[in-house]
Structure 1
C-alpha cells in the first residue's frame, strides 16, 4: 500500500478549507492580466489538483465567472483567492499561497508572460527587510501577533477559537 501525498490549505480567516490527495501538477506563475486582477497582485501562483482527489473540508467557496470557460473561487468572508476552475478540465487549480505549506510546491514554469510587468526581473535587486523592521518595527509585530485572527497553517476542528471575540 502506497501512501499518497496530502496537501491542505484554505483562506486567511479559516472559513474555507480544502484537501488534495496526490501530486499537484504544473505548478506555475500566471502573469496574465485576468490572473493579476483576480489575485490583486502581479501574478497568480497555481497548481493543478485532480478533481477526484480534491475535496472541500470546511465551508464553501464563493465563485466569480471570469469568462465563459473559467470561474474563480474565493472566500466570501475574507476575500482570499483560492481556486482557478477551468470548467471543462479534469482538474481544479489551487492558489499556491493558500497551501498550508506554500514552500512545499515550487513553480516550474510561467504563463501569460505577455502581461508580465516589465520591471519584474528587477525584483531581486530591491532592498529587503524582515517583517518586524521598518517604521513600526517590533511594536507592530507584537500588536499583530497579539490580535492575529488568521487561521493557522493546519486543519482545526473549528474556527475561530472560542476565546476570540
Structure 2
C-alpha cells in the first residue's frame, strides 16, 4: 500500500490527490474495461474520504452497468475513475498518476475475457472472473 499520490487527466482540466492507503494495482481484463480503455485496465483504489479532486466540473460520470459508474475528463476523454454503486471507495486508473507513484501490481482479474491478441507473461496470479475487485 502507498500513501499520498497525485495525478490527473491528459489535458490538466482534472487533477486529484489520493491521500490514504491505496490497494496494490489490479489488472482487469473484463470486456467493459477493454472497451473503455482500448486494452486492459490497471487500477488501484482508495477511500472516497481520502480522494480530493480539482476541476470536478470537467469530470463526467456515466453508468457503465447497473452496479458501477466510470469517471472521465469531458475535455480530453481521459479515463480516470471507476466506482461501484454504494461503495465508499473509488478505483483510480494507474496511468493517471504522476510518476514515480510507488505502486506495484498484485494480480489479474477477468482473464477469461481478455483480448485474444496478447498473452499475460508477468507471473502474477490470474483469476478467470472477478474474485478480487477493482
TM bin, normalised by shorter chain, reads 0.7 to 0.9
Q: TM-score, normalised by structure 2?
A: 0.81
Structure 1 distance, partners of 2:3, 2:97, is: 13
Structure 2 distance, partners of 1:89, 1:114, is: 25
- The 1:48–1:32 alpha-carbon spacing in structure 2 relative to 1, beyond 3 Å, is same
Q: Which residue of 2 aligns with 1:54?
A: 51
Q: Which residue of 2 aligns with 1:149?
A: none
Larger radius of gyration: 1
Q: Which residue of 1 aligns with 2:116?
A: 118
Equivalent residues of 1:96, 1:102 under 8 A apart: no
* Secondary structure of the corresponding residue to residue 15 of structure 1: coil
Q: TM-score, normalised by structure 1?
A: 0.66
Unaligned runs of 5+ in 2: 123-134
Structure 2 distance, partners of 1:122, 1:88, is: 32
Match runs of 1:3-152 below 5 Å: 5-39=3-37, 41-60=38-57, 61-101=59-99, 104-121=102-119
Q: Which residue of 2 aligns with 1:163?
A: none
Structure with the higher fraction of residues in strand conformation:
2
Q: How many residues align?
A: 120
Task: Give 1:123 shift.
Answer: 7.7
Structure 1 distance, partners of 2:76, 2:10, is: 7
Equivalent residues of 2:3, 2:22 under 8 A apart: no
Unaligned runs of 5+ in 1: 125-165
Task: Give 1:87 shift.
Answer: 1.6
Equivalent residues of 1:19, 1:55 under 8 A apart: yes
Structure 1 distance, partners of 2:28, 2:46, is: 16
